[in-house]
């Protein structure tokens, strides 16, 4: 089989990148030669005629990522073809490996909780003695079937679609890690379909609500500054909580934050507004935390609810709602969806498109905001 990177020009002028798997040819009953090809759409696109340095940079980044994916696909093919695997690693128990991956998330309370919940379910459907040597496509599909048909909550209710999506993706992430670390010769995560993620309601603050919150007292000054900073920057709680002054760069009349995302492990360079920079306060030593005293606790979570209540806001607002607020405000004020996606560090544009739907809904509501005219014509 020949694996190559291909380009396909779209009607929009952009170029779609895809991987072609050429599997040879065969002679049909009519005596015609038929070439057998499969294609994998990478959902990466090039500007057909880049107009500026930004578009050229985006082309370079997309092509670089496409080539890395191609290299992975080639490695997967050759490892499967020649059955390349470490026999010693193959004797390791899968659940022990997964347990290690859970502990690696211990510094992120929410992520750690999700991985722990996934682990509890996996212990119910996978034998404690199952080794990597025993893992194949049927095994992976059996785990998926468990989450789809058999898994229940503590209240003995079927799992929600989002829970299936979350837990099974943790399982797939562990398979990818096992492949990367040499425990598996085939990346089985790429051979099984994930669950669809249900579109969840994303609570956010309007600009007026945000202004009201600014003018309302919050019991914890550091919590107020951190929340407002997230509204203006879009940074996640985990990244704000761990931010140090070494990550904050003041350059002439602009400021930016250089950091590695806790959730995706991607390196980000995020420009922030002057107002967002003011919320950080005066610069301290490079290794000092920016938001000293900020911590994940029920006390702080409850104070956000009380703070909003004092401001007359009845929505169910959490710290993560600040990130949603940033996305909506950017789109409302003319930022394009690609820029918003890059700022938020989304891996897929479809994640950002959820916010675009919110804007569409608000536009529909605005269409009916004009008072009714008396159209009676004498």
Residue 376 clears pLDDT 90, i.e. is over it: no
pLDDT value for 263: 60
Residue 309 clears pLDDT 70, i.e. is over it: yes
Residue 24 vs residue 289, higher pLDDT: 289
What's the whole-number mean pLDDT along residues 277-300? 92
Give the chain's mean pLDDT: 86
**Is the Cα dihedral 71, 176, 104, 194 positive or negative?**
positive
Residue 190 clears pLDDT 50, i.e. is over it: yes
- Beta-bridge partner residues of 251: 254
CA distances from 271 to 86, 176, 189, 235, 236 (A): 45, 32, 35, 11, 15
For residue range 146-183, what is the model confidence (pLDDT) as tens digits?
999 999 988 888 888 888 999 999 999 999 999 888 88
What values do phi and psi take at 210, rounded to 5? Answer: -65, -40
pLDDT value for 279: 95
pLDDT value for 327: 87
Confidence tier at 200 by pLDDT (50, 70, 90)? low
d(CA 128, CA 58): 46
pLDDT value for 82: 46
Question: Which 3-state string (H, E, C) describes 77-144?
Answer: HHHHHHCCCCCCHHHCEHHHHHHHHHHCCCCCHHHHHHHHHHHHHHHHHCCCCCEHHHCCHHHHHHHH
Q: Is 179 left (phi over 0), alpha (psi -120 to 50) or beta?
A: alpha
d(CA 253, CA 214): 25
pLDDT value for 230: 94
| Helices (H), ranges, 195-236 | 207-214, 221-233
Residue 246 is given by DSSP the state G
pLDDT value for 368: 62
pTM confidence score: 0.49
What's the whole-number mean pLDDT along residues 214-223? 95
Nearest to 300, CA basis, from 198, 227, 215: 227
Sheet holding 267-272, edge to edge: 248-251, 254-260, 267-272
- Asked if 292 and 222 count as a contact pair (C-beta separation under 8 A), the reply is yes
Kindly list the structural domains of the chain, giving each domain's residue range(s) and its CATH number in brackets, ordered by start: 2-82 (no CATH), 89-191 (1.10.150), 207-366 (1.10.443.10)
Residue 374 clears pLDDT 80, i.e. is over it: no
Residue 39 vs residue 267, higher pLDDT: 39
pLDDT value for 360: 66
pLDDT value for 83: 46
Residue 341 vs residue 15, higher pLDDT: 15
What's the whole-number mean pLDDT along residues 233-250? 91
What's the whole-number mean pLDDT along residues 79-95? 68
d(CA 216, CA 170): 40
Helix (H, G, I), strand (E, B) or coil at 22: strand
Return the structure tokens found at 365: 């509501």
């Amino acid at each position: 089989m020949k694996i190559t990177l291909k380009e396909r020009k779209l009607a929009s002028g952009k170029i779609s990148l895809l991987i072609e798997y050429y599997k040879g040819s065969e002679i049909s009953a009519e005596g015609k030669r038929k070439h057998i090809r499969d294609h994998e759409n990478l959902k990466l696109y090039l500007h057909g005629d880049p107009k500026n340095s930004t578009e050229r940079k985006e082309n370079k980044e997309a092509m670089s990522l496409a080539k890395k994916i191609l290299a992975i696909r080639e490695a997967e093919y050759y490892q499967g073809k020649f059955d390349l695997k470490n026999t010693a690693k193959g004797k390791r128990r899968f659940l022990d490996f997964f347990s290690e991956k859970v502990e690696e998330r211990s510094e992120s309370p929410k992520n750690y909780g999700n991985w722990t919940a996934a682990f509890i379910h996996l212990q119910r459907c996978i034998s404690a003695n199952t080794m990597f040597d025993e893992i194949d496509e049927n095994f992976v599909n059996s785990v998926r079937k468990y989450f789809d048909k058999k898994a229940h909550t503590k209240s003995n209710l079927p799992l929600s679609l989002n829970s299936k999506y979350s837990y099974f993706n943790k399982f797939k992430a562990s398979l990818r890690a096992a492949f990367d670390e040499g425990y598996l010769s085939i990346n089985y995560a790429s051979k099984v379909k994930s669950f669809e993620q249900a579109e969840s309601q994303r609570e956010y603050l309007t600009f007026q609500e945000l202004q009201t919150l600014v003018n309302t007292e919050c019991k914890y000054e550091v919590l107020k500054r951190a929340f407002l900073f997230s509204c203006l920057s879009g940074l996640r709680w985990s990244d704000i909580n761990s931010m140090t002054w070494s990550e904050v760069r003041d350059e002439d009349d602009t400021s930016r934050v250089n950091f590695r995302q806790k959730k995706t492990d991607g390196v980000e360079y995020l420009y922030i507004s002057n107002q967002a920079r003011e919320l950080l306060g005066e610069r301290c030593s490079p290794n000092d935390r920016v938001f000293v005293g900020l911590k994940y606790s029920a006390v702080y979570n409850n104070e956000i609810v009380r703070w909003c209540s004092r401001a007359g806001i009845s929505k169910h607002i959490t710290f993560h709602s600040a990130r949603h607020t940033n996305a909506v405000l950017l789109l409302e004020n003319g930022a394009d969806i690609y820029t918003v996606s890059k700022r938020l560090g989304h891996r897929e544009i479809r994640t950002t498109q959820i916010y675009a739907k919110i804007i569409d809904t608000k536009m529909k509501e605005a269409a009916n905001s004009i008072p009714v005219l008396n159209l009676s014509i004498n």
